[in-house]
Chain A
Amino acid sequence: MIITGELDPSGAEPQALLEAADFNDARVLEIGCGKGRLSFRYAKESRAVLGVDPEAKDLASALAARPRHLAERLTFVRAAALELPFRDGSFDIAIFAWSL
């Protein structure tokens, strides 16, 4: 899908996230990250963000669009919400963004 128009220019969505939890130094899991649209907007506020999505094409787009300055703290992995390939207790925050 080619996005036309401008989405959330005021940043209300990341602002709501940052007000709802303490992202400072947090390990964040975003389930259903898609092309990373939202991940890019809050990743700099946390220690590390891992976006998961079952769609390989979306993840490839996310990786291609990832800003260079976020490369060390924002990564993407192909996985489904029902079987997350991570150890117990690995994250401080889990986000379902338009995906539950």
Chain B
Amino acid sequence: MVDALRETRRVLAANGTLLDLRPLSVRCDIEVVTPVHEVPIGEVDATGYMADDLAADRAARQAVEAGWFVPRRETVFDFEFYWDTVAEMKSFMEQSERMGDVRPSYADLDKAFRELSAAAAGGGRLRCRRPTMLAACRRA
């Protein structure tokens, strides 16, 4: 990774900007969102890439210590995923490399989703908000 940062520095112009955008490795709530409610009903384990994230953090630190880049700012925002059904969410999770086990079971999530959606006149959607960080550095 640090070699990729060295190569990136090479192709950046003087005072160019490096942007490192990555989802954080955390457990994220699964919520039902209706016109009147935002109710957590479960969670998804999004820590599967923790080792890669730590390695990326190390590489970024090394690149700064080597004097290639100067940190400018770091922000965290929510990257939102929405699904219309639990089946749709399940299909996404099963194909996702970064999001893994869901709790409680999909059957229990489906039951909770249907109950909350039925109680809301406008129906509901499923949402997962994943904290995502953006670090900006200036090419030194």
Residues of A bordering B, CB below 8 Å: 1-10, 12-13, 15-17, 19-22, 27, 29, 31, 38, 81-84, 86-98, 100
Contacts and interface: CB of A to CB of B under 8 A. Distances in A.
Contacts, number: 129
Interface residues of B, number: 41
Given A12-B80, A21-B136, A81-B4, A2 B11 contact: no
Nearest to B10: A88
B35 interface: no
A11 B71 CA distance: 25
Contact of B19 (A86, A89, A95): A95
Contacts of A4: 83, 88-89, 91-92
A5 B13 contact: no
Given A88-B11, A89-B11, A2 B95 contact: yes
B27 to A, nearest CB: 18
Name the residue in A20, A38, A83 with the highest tally of chain B Cβ atoms < 10 Å from its Cβ. A20
Contacts of B59: 100
B132 interface: yes
Given A16-B134, A81-B4, A91 B12 contact: yes
12 contacts: A4-B92, A5-B83, A12-B79, A89-B11, A89-B13, A89-B14, A94-B16, A94-B19, A95-B21, A100-B4, A100-B5, A100-B56
Given A82-B7, A94-B12, 18 more contacts: A4-B88, A5-B89, A5-B92, A8-B79, A10-B80, A12-B79, A16-B77, A16-B132, A29-B8, A82-B4, A84-B8, A89-B14, A90-B13, A93-B16, A93-B17, A94-B16, A94-B18, A96-B20
